[in-house]
């Protein structure tokens, strides 16, 4: 999940060095630093490259802005022509700073700390690209998918290809594993999830695996549990990330061979105290000692007290007494 961000004073200081959030995302040195900040503080087992899923629509030529304290705004794609005008040929050059940032991080990161590359899943990216990112983003996106199913499918297919290519380039630049964020999968009904959430992920993962057969891939269809069997069977991720709306123990028994990642509610990190301790102990007991990656169910919120993140790490490490960091 997002582990860099405004809850860290050093991130707030770094953020001031770039004018816009996208400027920050295209400055390899600053991105490398933002990636390393949480690792220095908390000694997590893995670093996730500092970037954003929306650099992909930006690289394709769509207008993307981030409004401070509100979030992303995109000039929504409407017509067939808008979609045809997207330019995958610009991607590699435009995203070069992301790959430079990965190379820089790899030189500064201990070998025992894994480096995670990521991209947005086709559905989540498409929902921003046609929904525009504003307050009606998700209803706009669902409406667009129903009103123009073929156009929407064309867009998803394009995003599956470029998403895979972006992940492959990140691996070439030093990522040890990758994660695909489908943050809005949970808003889809089961049929739409099958068509718009699952199917393009099959395409993306196939293309990624053809180039990087040995690199682990984590899929995060956030908030969608109803039809996960077919998703896991056909997408075949190495690990499944889940949020707090699912019972971790139940997911582990539903998919006995699969690595599961999750699922602490980030709000527990704001509340802290006994509530946090209880939640982390429950997490550890349900996740067990194998095939489990301790994580949050979503990114760290800006108002999170730093000492609560330390507390989380401390409890988790106590629970893994005999394991050196690189064997977790």
207 is catalytic: no
List the x/- string, 22-61, binding to ligand CP3 by CB under 6 A: ------------xx------------x-xxxxx-------
**Alpha-carbon gap, residue 258 to 237, rounded angstroms:** 8
> What is the C-alpha to C-alpha distance for residues 286 and 291, in angstroms, rounded to an integer?
11
String marking each residue 79-118 x if it binds ligand CP3 according to CB under 6 A: ---------------------------------------x
Determine, following the binding rule CB under 6 A, whether residue 21 of this chain makes contact with ligand CP3. Answer: yes
> Rounded to the nearest whole angstrom, what is the least distance from the CB of residue 23 to ligand CP3 in the complex?
11
Q: Is 7 a catalytic residue?
A: no
Rounded least distance, CB 248 to ligand CP3, Å:
19
What six digits make up the tokens of 247? Answer: 């019972």
Phi then psi for 74, rounded to 5 degrees? -125, 150
Please state whether the peptide bond connecting residue 54 to the residue before it is cis, i.e. omega within 30 degrees of 0.
no
Residue 121 CB, nearest approach to ligand CP3 (Å): 9
Query: Least separation, in Å, of the C-beta of 179 and ligand CP3?
Result: 8
Catalytic pick among 7, 11, 26, 128: 128
Task: Write the secondary structure of 43-66 as one string of H (helix), E (strand) and C (coil).
Answer: CCCEEECCCCCCHHHHHCCCCEEE
**3-class DSSP state for residue 74?**
strand
128 an active-site residue?
Answer: yes
Query: Between residues 71 and 249, which has the closer beta carbon with respect to ligand CP3?
Result: 71
- Pick the closest to residue 119 from 182, 28, 37 (CA basis): 182
Task: Please tell me the distance from the alpha carbon of residue 20 to that of residue 251, in angstroms, as a whole number.
Answer: 40
- Cα–Cα distance for residue pair 297/294, rounded to 1 Å: 10
Residue of 52, 182, 243, 265 marked active site: 52
Give the residue numbers marked as catalytic: 2, 6, 15, 52, 128
Question: Binding residues for ligand CP3, per CB under 6 A?
Answer: 2-6, 15, 21, 34-35, 48, 50-54, 66, 71-72, 118, 181, 183, 298-299
């Amino acid at each position: 999940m997002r582990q860099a961000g405004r809850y860290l004073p050093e991130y707030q200081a770094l953020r001031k060095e770039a004018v816009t959030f996208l400027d920050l995302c295209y400055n390899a040195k600053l991105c490398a630093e933002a990636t390393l900040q949480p690792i220095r503080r908390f000694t997590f087992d893995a670093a996730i490259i500092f970037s954003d899923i929306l650099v992909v629509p930006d690289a394709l030529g769509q207008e993307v802005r981030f409004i401070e304290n509100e979030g992303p705004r995109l000039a929504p794609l409407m017509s067939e022509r808008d979609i045809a005008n997207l330019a995958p040929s610009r991607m590699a050059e435009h995203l070069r700073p992301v790959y430079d940032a990965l190379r820089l991080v790899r030189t500064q990161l201990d070998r025992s700390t894994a480096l995670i590359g990521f991209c947005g899943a086709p559905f989540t990216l498409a929902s921003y690209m046609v929904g525009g990112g504003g307050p009606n983003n998700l209803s706009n996106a669902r409406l667009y998918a129903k009103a123009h199913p073929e156009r929407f499918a064309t867009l998803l297919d394009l995003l599956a290809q470029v998403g895979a290519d972006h992940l492959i380039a990140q691996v070439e630049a030093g990522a040890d594993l990758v994660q695909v964020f489908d943050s809005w999968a949970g808003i889809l009904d089961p049929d739409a999830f099958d068509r718009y959430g699952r199917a393009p992920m099959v395409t993306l993962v196939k293309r990624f695996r053809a180039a990087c057969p040995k690199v682990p891939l984590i899929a995060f269809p956030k908030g969608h549990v109803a039809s996960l069997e077919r998703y896991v069977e056909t997408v075949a991720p190495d690990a499944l990330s889940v949020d707090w709306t699912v019972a971790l123990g139940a997911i582990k028994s539903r998919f006995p061979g699969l690595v599961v990642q999750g699922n602490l509610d980030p709000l527990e990190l704001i509340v802290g105290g006994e509530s946090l301790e209880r939640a982390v102990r429950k997490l550890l007991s349900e996740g067990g000692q194998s095939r489990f990656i301790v994580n949050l169910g979503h990114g760290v919120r800006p108002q999170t007290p730093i000492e609560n993140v330390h507390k989380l790490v401390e409890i988790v490490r106590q629970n893994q007494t005999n394991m050196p960091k690189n064997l977790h």
